[in-house]
Chain A
Amino acid sequence: MAEQSGSIAVSSGVPIRGLMPGGAIWKHISRFARRKPLGAFGAVIALILIIVAVFAPFIATHDPAATNGALVYAPPGSQLLLGGDQLGRDVFSRLVYGARVSLYAGLLSAFIGASIGMVVGVASVHFGGKTDLIVQRIIDTMMAFPPLILAITIMAALGASLNNVVIALTIAYIPSAARVLRSQALAIKEMDYILAARAIGASHGRIIFRCMIPNCLALYIVLVSVFLGTAIVAEATLSFLGIGVPPDVPSWGGMLNGAAQTYVHLAPWLGVFPGLAIAIVVFAWNLLGDALRDVLDPRLRGTW
């Protein structure tokens, strides 16, 4: 059998012949860039943002924590690229450093939350019966709290730290992800190919991970983009309440949440730039996610 053409070998991944020859990866990437320019654009933005976060000290023009009385509310332009905040700190440099916390917390909690939620939702549907009933009641209970309140409760138990923020947000997203993917999983469970998998003696793990989850990916991608935006802001809220990262560590959500809201009429750039940064992340993921969804869907193979 010839090498699998055109698919990034997600489909089923039969281990015996799923491996891709080394050079093929570049072929796939260049093909992706040609056929899905918007998706590639999204990927490039995401990559740039991650590079910015990693190399923040080299990119920032100022010390993000350095205050300067002369630059309080300095408008964007000559002195400071994106203006100064209420303590005269450089907004640009804070944005650059803020990418570290925001992307870390946002990406991790959105992806992990959606992933665990997907597995929980799908597995619960797969096992059905009492298991499903119990899982659903637990999810109901968790969903009775708004995600932020849930996260705050968890943070209170865990103590303040960036990693704990990620853990708290991840847990907070699991129930809604599980609930949303459940509907999809219920439809998939009724398909005969699930029964066919059982009829050949497939294990539970195989049915969940090979048969059901690949058919949930479209919804998963949408879910991640929803979570991504809210996670970045939620991290800031936790920090603002003093249970996240220390307030002097810059983050986009923190910038948006703090002085920006109070002084927005005086210095709109305090809100505009961090807001824009969050929007760009979500936008980049949407572009990339849309393209990925098409690429991962064998029905669209050949059209991309």
Chain B
Amino acid sequence: MTAVERTQREPGDDVLIEVKHLKMYFPVTSGVLVQRTVGYIKAVDDVSFVVRRGETLGLVGESGCGKTTTGRCVLQLYRPTAGSVLFDGEDLCSMNGRELRGMRRYMQVIFQDPYSSLNPRMTAGDIVGEPLLVQGLATDRRAYRERVAELLSLVGLRTSMADRFPHEFSGGQRQRIGVARALAVNPQFIVCDEPVSALDVSIQAQIVNLLEELQEKFDLTYLFIAHDLSVVRHISDRVAVMYLGHIVEIAGRNAIYATPLHPYTKALLSAVPIPDPVIDTQRERIPLAGEVPSPLNPPSGCVFHPRCWMATAECQQVIPELREVQTGHFVACIHAPGYGSP
């Protein structure tokens, strides 16, 4: 056990999800007849974190940094290359297909794209009811129908909409169907993969409020993935910042927004537009040069160093581990105050 795990997981903590040294490498193959692996996309590269029961852990970062992959690995929708994912102490990575199917009662997912996440040939009612059938949670036809109706009204849809097909709903309503589907099995844990990114701002707030209400009502635990830092601040208890397959900073919501320690976190925060011309122009922007490098060929040392304005020669060599620099505030930057010697 590294220092990270010991401290992220405190004694007496009610940890629901524990991710340890998670790696997901996608092989890149070439060749037509005989496929040869020519390299790996290191989408997630040694990521460890915990999610406590009833909390929301926000996961932010630019697109392509591995947020979705992390979420899917946690749910075992992708089988990770290495590492372990403990759900209430049980290792999901060592379960077989049948055991995992049983675990799906306890963990669910909400997708980003309200268009591709609903089967166009199923009605809203069928979509919401399918988990009940698959998991054998409906004892008879009446119970099934009542539960579907209950789920629909829970997410703010009219019961009469059950017979409509997805294309007859707006983006926000589709997202509500997705939420209802995730809730159908009464899960404990939901990975929300950018659930509001594809929605209009006025609708985003509706869905965020809905997710918060449901969390309170059913004591849900969320892994909330997003690239919008303002939404993440609103909904999360703690926030993890990802960059190129690594977690570079984790801290409580207030700490990370008030005193970000990693240069990447600082740059990200400074780029968030503020809807007020006076404030937005006065604010200092940390311009981040260039773009996220390819995870096929990540930079040596600290993966952020080519874009970092604080980088020194050392950063090119040392891979900084995630260290606790203040209580509950972890950062992976050798220049962060309190980080100590690399």
Contacts and interface: CB of A to CB of B under 8 A. Distances in A.
Partners in one complex: yes
Interface of A: 1-2, 4-5, 10-12, 14-17, 133, 190-193, 195-203, 206, 211, 214-215, 297-299, 301
Given A14-B133, A16-B133, A191-B116, A196 B111 contact: yes
B176 interface: no
A193 B110 CA distance: 10
Majority SS at the chain A contact face: loop
A215 B104 contact: no
26 contacts: A1-B145, A11-B165, A12-B123, A190-B116, A192-B111, A193-B118, A193-B119, A196-B118, A197-B119, A199-B104, A199-B108, A200-B130, A200-B135, A200-B185, A201-B100, A201-B102, A201-B104, A201-B134, A202-B130, A203-B134, A206-B134, A297-B121, A298-B121, A298-B123, A299-B167, A301-B165
A192 B104 CA distance: 16
Contacts of B162: 1
Contacts of B217: none
B310 interface: no
B163 A5 contact: yes
A286 B133 CA distance: 37
Nearest to B111: A192
Among A4, A198, A200, A299, find the residue whose CB has the most chain B CB atoms closer than 10 A: A200
B101 interface: yes
Contacts of B134: 200-203, 206
Contact of A199 (B75, B112, B113, B163): B75
Among A4, A12, A14, find the residue whose CB has the most chain B CB atoms closer than 10 A: A14
Interface residues of B, number: 47
A16 B119 CA distance: 19
Among B100, B129, B163, find the residue whose CB has the most chain A CB atoms closer than 10 A: B163
Contacts of A12: 119, 121-123, 126-127, 130
Nearest to A193: B119
A14 to B, nearest CB: 5
B138 interface: yes
Nearest to B119: A193
B144 A298 contact: no
B54 interface: no
A1 B163 contact: yes
B294 interface: no
Among A10, A16, A199, A202, find the residue whose CB has the most chain B CB atoms closer than 10 A: A199
B234 interface: no
Contacts of A198: 77
B181 A192 contact: no
A11 B149 contact: no
B20 interface: no
B35 to A, nearest CB: 8
B109 A199 contact: yes
B301 interface: no
B58 interface: no
Interface in B77-108: 77, 100-102, 104-105, 108
B100 to A, nearest CB: 8
